[in-house]
A and B are shown apart, each in its own frame.
Chain A
Amino acid sequence: MSDNHNSASMQNHIRIYLMVFGALGVLTIITVLASYLNLSTSEGIFLALIIASVKASLVLGYFMHLISERKLIIWILLITVFFFFVMIFLPLISNIDHAGDPAQWWEVI
């Protein structure tokens, strides 16, 4: 980043960093408290990942300056995230055809 950050705008940035710090702390506590709610597994996973994503967005956006970053970087990240989800979720398509399989089928034989 070129030196368009004079002292006043840096002070502004610092205020934001501290606010994000606070928010992250609060969200961490919420994450832990949420784990004590009696949610089903998939609801629990969903909620935990939502909260984690919010925290991640704050770190990405403000600490890593993505909020004011160049398009090229954003695009590279979006493509990466796309392939990340492909890698994580595509293998799970198998479950469509294997939903009825007994677990530990070898013990059944």
Chain B
Amino acid sequence: MYSNSNNHDHHEENFIQKYIFSVDHKVIGIQYGITSLLFLLFGFSLMAIMRWQLAYPGTEIPIVGFIFGESGVLASEQYNSLGAMHGTIMIFLGIVPLAVGAFGNYLVPLQIGAIDMAFPKLNAASYWTYFVGGVIMISSFFMPEGAARSGWTSYPPLSVFENGQTIWLISMIFLITSSLLGSMNIIVTIVQLRAPGLTWMRLPLFTWTQFVTSFLLVLAFPPLEAAAVLQLMDRVAGTSFFLPSGLVMSGEIVDVAGGGSPLLWQHLFWFLAHPEVYVLILPALGIVGEILANNTRKPIWGYKSIVYSTVFLGFMSFIVWAHHMFLTGMGQAMSAFFQTTTMIISIPSVVILTSYFLSLWGGSIRFNTPMLFALAFLPMFGIGGLTGLPLGLAASDIYLHDTYYVIGHFHYVVAPGTIFALFAGIYYWFPKITGRRMSEVLGKLHFWPSLIFMNGIFMPMFIQGLAGVSRRLADGGVSYAHASGVLQWNEFMSISAFCLGLSQIPFIVNIFMSLFTGEKSDRNPWKSTTIEWAAPSPPLAHVNFDSEITVHRTAYEYSVPGSKDDFIPQTES
């Protein structure tokens, strides 16, 4: 039934069909991957410019300073623009498309033994919608109004009157639509296209986390789409969804009907944006699980608890959102409710992290590059998670809200957290995607400095936050007396940031070099158990596998007593 020349009834595809508008999930996954990595690089550069300003206020920005005016120094609106766009681009154009669009699309069909996603054309549509949304978002930099500058959170009333928001909102509508199409596809694919014998409790953790993540995207994004439409109407149609009566701007009463509520935006926004942060972390947790099992040569400890915790986490993520709103005056009843649910949601995260730590005990650990990143993820995510606790408790959040403490907290989770896991995934699955291995030497040259400098950037943020330095300050806190004791950290953090950027060079070189001269890889270089390794490297166009796939085993049968090898693939009977 399977044969290598599977173009039997497929017409010969031309270049456009094969590489541009392909419906093959592997091509689409790579398209997502390349696009999102470029956006990540761009978003990083925005931050690097900001960090120069913070370290050396009033001095000319090197190399690109001319963009910002004659003096080459950032004006505060420009700083705010960079800040808002850094957040927006990293989250919506970078991490989510990489974690879900790239990794999800490429690997889910392979891990479940399917030939493609359930809806290949919809898949292509979701990529191109993302692409268009990304172009629109970036185009805002070139508009006369400039790019958005009201934070990635886009709070009204400021965002209704500030520049750059209209394009931001339109772009978000495209990006949200892309996400919806993609996540629908993933859910149907996992439910319907699992190979014979692949029961739910035999699914690899990567697939489980993609599944739960997709539910979060499907149910949580639409309220933000609704809110974006409402804000767009406030800007363009003169409505007052988010504008209260009696609003005064520059000393004058604003000429709108009023009666609206800025809090409405915050509720609708955070209803998405909280599940969104679990969208950012769940795929990473899945990737780390795969790599830990593989490089300890042991099954993951507590597979079942991890699965139940992941599902519970997904469910709880919908009812914690107002912990971002403790300081809005919403009242004690609300605060008490959301504080409680927030404390409860920390439990499944702890279960998962603890299970991963326990999985290391007694393992035969191989310290290859993917494993280094996966191992580093664990304490980094631990720091990120623990620093979230004082934020989730209303009383301590009163002090810490909107300070650098928050920035430190969430960056620990996303940067040396999720991004490290994504790096791990790239090193791990590169042989499957390309048929070649990446250099271990360059991999370690990438890993060690990245780990050091990540901590260099984000650890001092807790110090600054605890001293009371607010976030989103274009002058970095210079005008506040209470900040004076901690501002010397700015230079340290900025230099760490620039060095972090330099540390990515081995990674970029590694990718390009290995594509052409990397050591050729067989189909299962890491001796892994999961189904994607049963396909050739790279998998066959359109059909993936060159033999029938039936599943007989759970996902992580490593070091099974009595077996010949230290691993038994899922497909082996």
Question: Which chain A residues have a beta carbon within 8 Å of chain B's beta carbons?
Answer: 72, 79-80, 83, 86-87, 90-91, 93-94, 96-98, 104, 106-107
Please name 19 pairs of A and B residues whose Cβ atoms are closer than 8 Å in the assembled complex, sorted by A. Answer: A79-B219, A80-B219, A86-B319, A87-B223, A90-B319, A90-B322, A90-B337, A91-B263, A91-B267, A93-B331, A93-B337, A94-B334, A96-B333, A96-B334, A97-B330, A98-B331, A104-B246, A106-B245, A106-B246
Nearest residue in B to A107 (C-beta to C-beta)? B246
Interface range, B side: 10 to 19
Is residue B206 contacting chain A, with contact meaning CB distance below 8 A? Answer: no
Chain A residues in 8 Å Cβ range of B334: 90-91, 93-94, 96-97
Q: How far is the CA of A36 from the CA of B393 in the complex (A)?
A: 49
The one of A83, A94, A106 in contact with B318, judged by C-beta atoms closer than 8 angstroms, is A83
Least Cβ–Cβ distance between B124 and chain A, in angstroms: 25
Q: Does B458 interact with chain A (Cβ within 8 Å)? A: no
CA gap between A90 and B223 in the complex, in Å: 14
Q: Does B191 contact A (CB under 8 A)?
A: yes
Say if the beta carbon of B332 comes within 8 Å of chain A.
Answer: yes
Nearest Cβ on chain B to A2's Cβ, whole angstroms: 15
Min CB distance A65 to B, Å, is 18
- Shortest distance between the CB of B499 and any CB in chain A (Å): 43
Chain A's nearest CB lies how many Å from the CB of B216?
Answer: 10
Report if B127 contacts A (CB, 8 A): no
Give the residue name and chain of the B residue nearest to A96 (CB). B333
* A72 lies within 8 A of B319 (CB): no
| Residues in A whose Cβ lies below 8 Å from that of B245 | 104, 106
Among A83, A96, A104, A106, point to the contact of B219 (Cβ < 8 A): A83
B285 to chain A minimum Cβ distance, whole angstroms, is 21
Which B residues lie within 8 Å of A104 (CB)?
Answer: 245-246
Given contacts A91-B334, A106-B246, 13 further A-B contacts (CB under 8 A): A79-B219, A80-B219, A83-B219, A86-B319, A90-B319, A90-B337, A94-B333, A94-B334, A96-B333, A97-B331, A97-B333, A104-B246, A106-B245
- Smallest beta-carbon distance A75→chain B, Å: 11
The smallest beta-carbon distance between A28 and chain B, in angstroms, is 27
A87 to chain B, nearest CB (A): 6
Point out the residues of chain B lying under 8 angstroms from A87, CB to CB.
Answer: 223, 271
Chain A proximity mask over B130-160: 1 for CB below 8 Å, otherwise 0: 0000000000000000000000000000000
**Which residues of chain B from 267 to 307 have a CB within 8 Å of any chain A CB?**
267, 271
* Proximity string of chain B (237-257) to chain A, C-beta cutoff 8 Å, 1 when within and 0 when not: 000000001100000000000
Contacts of A72 in B (CB 8 A): 191
Q: Which of A79, A83, A94 contacts B331 (CB 8 A)?
A: A94
Q: Are B246 and A94 in contact (CB under 8 A)?
A: no
Contact across chains for A96 and B319 when beta carbons are under 8 A apart: no
Chain B residues lying within 8 Å of A80, measured Cβ to Cβ, are 219
A96 to chain B, nearest CB (A): 4
Rank and list the top 5 A-B pairs by shortest CB-CB distance, nearest first. A97-B331, A96-B333, A94-B330, A106-B246, A93-B334
Most chain B CB within 10 A, of A79, A90, A96, is at A90
Given the complex of chains A and B, what is the CA–CA distance between A80 and B322 in angstroms?
A: 19
CB distance from B425 to the nearest CB of A (A): 29
In the complex the two chains form, what is the Cα distance from A91 to B246 in whole Å? 23
Q: Name which residue of chain A comes closest to B333, CB basis.
A: A96
Contact with A along B470-509 (1 / 0, CB 8 A): 0000000000000000000000000000000000000000
Give A34 to B337 CA distance when docked, in angstroms.
37
* Docked complex Cα distance between A107 and B245 (Å): 10
Which of chain B's residues has its CB closest to A106's CB? B246
A96 to B334, alpha carbons, bound, how many Å? 9
Which residues 350-366 of B have a CB within 8 angstroms of A? none
Residues of A within 8 A of B271 (CB): 87
Q: How far, in Å, is A76 (CB) from chain B's closest CB? A: 9
Q: Is the CB of B332 within 8 A of A97?
A: yes
Bound Cα distance from A106 to B246, whole angstroms: 8
Nearest A residue (CB) for B335: A97
Q: Which A residues are in CB contact (< 8 Å) with B319?
A: 86, 90
